[in-house]
Chain A
Amino acid sequence: MESSTELIPHLFRTEFRKIVSVLSKLFGLAHIEVAEDIVSDTFMLAAETWGKKGLPDNPTAWLYTVAKNKTKDYLKRNQLFSEKISVEIKHTSTPFVELEIDLSTKNIADSQLQMMFAICSPVIPEEAQIGLALRILCGFGIDEISAAFLSNKETINKRLFRAKEALRVQKVSMAFPQASELENRLQAVLTTLYLLFNEGYYSASQHATLRKDLCIEALRLTVMLSENDTTNQPQVRALIALMCFHASRFEARQGTDGQILLYQEQDTALWDQALITTGEIYLNQSATGQKLSKYHLEAAIAYWHTRPQDSAEKWQNILQYYNLLLQIEYSPVAALNRTFALAKAVSTEKAIQEALKLKQDNHLYYALLGQLYSTVDHSAAIEYFERAIAKAKTENDRLVLLKRLEQLRVDSGA
């Protein structure tokens, strides 16, 4: 039998968010901290009791029962709460003692989605949204969140505190958006989930397990959106496809000594074919409706990258998707990737000509120019890689670039 010391952290990850969401909906989002306290107390009691008496038959049901009882006790005991705060609850004119704390599968799912919309409200800055999502929707500890952001606990605590305060002051409520608002609100949720995934996928943190967890959580939350009829929109399915395609390379991109391996250095046998297939299913299902979102285009590009063999068809497709993507939303990185695709699909000369017009000033830009020149002009290539190294922001980036510079010097006999 599994011991409680192993099971509790696992249950905290899966159940904390569910109970907190349901209780926050019951109390009103302004009292999210009361909900968090009740659930934390419940887990503390579980650790104590299970440690002494062994695990109950159904640990999850045990947690739900205890959380319900603690909630009822809290409501009964707290006079202030009953008079001033629980007006919302009183609207239903149910005395608290009979109050139904609905921990059904449906209410748990709905409450979490409503929590997602509340957290991704524009009253909270984006970075705080991700932090709060990790805490409330993913059950991450403050330690883990600060490690993910390469920050300290104090900063993260302050950030989460301010975010909750904004929810309270701006009177954000937990509800599904009106049909007329759905498009915009869903957009905000998808942006946060996309950033959460990227935080894990591209983060400078060396903590591989944590990074993978962030990506898995982002994927899980996006899948939850696809399981609800209202939020199951084509672009939601496109974002799931995108995440699956990227996540398929998790095992392959980590070298034996922990360094990140570039696409062309990866052992393609390590690519997760099951995730690729799942991504393809979602990508096919995303091809409905009138709107071509940036997630559709990024998923289509990521799909072609799941095919390791170079072909004219592959690179022409990737180039065309980048052309469209840049028209929807410009980003410096997409501009560089588009230029790389241009070299593959058309010619290096054409790509160099267009790369020089981009006039960016970062290590990725000079690395691209170095890469493009490496087949036509070694000394120019070396010069650009040197500039890239000077601009590199992390040690990891610097090492990758140095390796390529060394190779170039060996090749040119310099």
Chain B
Amino acid sequence: MQEFMMIFRMAPAADFQPTPEQIQESIQQWQSWIGGIAAQGKFLSTNQLGFTGNTLHADGVITDGPYAEVKEIVGGYILVKAENLEAATELAQGCPILFMGGHVEIREIMQINL
């Protein structure tokens, strides 16, 4: 088994204010998708990222927000185990980000032997 990271990206909708019910429903959808991966024994860990942040540039300038120059932001990630990239991509099916106008990037984790 190899390890993979799935990175969730989407363009933030500044004017979208979800209701508490919508938030609740969204949490259930994410948890059920992650639960489906965990039920196959392939879940390692996951994190959601907040909407505020800073970006440090090479010239020492710090700008507000992670999305100063990009349209899309990384909303979170999940680490999983899978046989190969195809199997990992198969696990990404049904990811709630796909129904929110976003997409999933699936990347192999490099094993660095020191």
Contacts and interface: CB of A to CB of B under 8 A. Distances in A.
A338 interface: yes
Nearest to A327: B38
Q: Give the interface size class of chain B.
A: 10 to 19
Interface in B7-35: 28, 31-32, 34-35
Interface string A321-348: 0111011001010110011001000100
Contacts of B28: 316, 320
B41 A327 contact: no
Interface in A340-372: 342, 346, 354, 357-359
Interface centre among B28, B39, B40, B43 (most CB of A within 10 A): B39
A196 interface: no
A330 B36 contact: no
Contacts of B31: 320, 323-324
Given A316-B28, A320-B28, A335 B41 contact: yes
The B interface is mostly helix, strand or loop, or mixed, namely: helix
Nearest to A331: B41
A182 B109 CA distance: 35
Contacts of B40: 335, 357-359
Interface string A296-332: 0000000000000000000010011011101100101
A149 B62 CA distance: 65
A409 to B, nearest CB: 30
Interface centre among A322, A323, A339 (most CB of B within 10 A): A323
B94 to A, nearest CB: 9
The A interface is mostly helix, strand or loop, or mixed, namely: helix
A327 B39 contact: no
Contacts of A326: 35, 38-39, 43
Contacts of B43: 326-327, 330
B39 to A, nearest CB: 4
Contacts, number: 47
A324 B38 CA distance: 9
A336 to B, nearest CB: 8
Contacts of A324: 31, 35
A333 to B, nearest CB: 11
A359 B41 CA distance: 11
Contacts of A338: 35, 39
A323 B35 contact: yes
A335 B34 contact: no
Nearest to A330: B41
A338 B39 CA distance: 7
A347 to B, nearest CB: 12
Interface string A19-31: 0000000000000
Contacts of B34: 323, 327
A27 B43 CA distance: 48
Contacts of A327: 34-35, 38, 43, 46
A338 B37 CA distance: 11
Contacts of A323: 31-32, 34-35, 38
A322 B36 CA distance: 10
A339 B37 CA distance: 12
Interface in A234-283: none
A296 to B, nearest CB: 16
Interface centre among A316, A324, A326 (most CB of B within 10 A): A326
Interface centre among B32, B41, B43 (most CB of A within 10 A): B32
**In the A-B complex, the 7 residue pairs with the closest CB atoms:** A323-B35, A326-B38, A335-B39, A323-B31, A330-B41, A327-B38, A338-B39
Given A319-B32, A324-B31, A339-B39, 14 more contacts: A322-B35, A326-B35, A326-B43, A327-B38, A332-B41, A334-B39, A335-B38, A335-B41, A354-B39, A357-B36, A357-B39, A357-B40, A358-B40, A359-B40
23 contacts: A316-B28, A319-B32, A320-B32, A323-B31, A323-B32, A323-B34, A323-B35, A324-B31, A326-B38, A326-B39, A327-B43, A330-B38, A334-B39, A335-B38, A335-B39, A335-B40, A338-B35, A338-B39, A342-B32, A354-B36, A354-B39, A357-B39, A358-B39
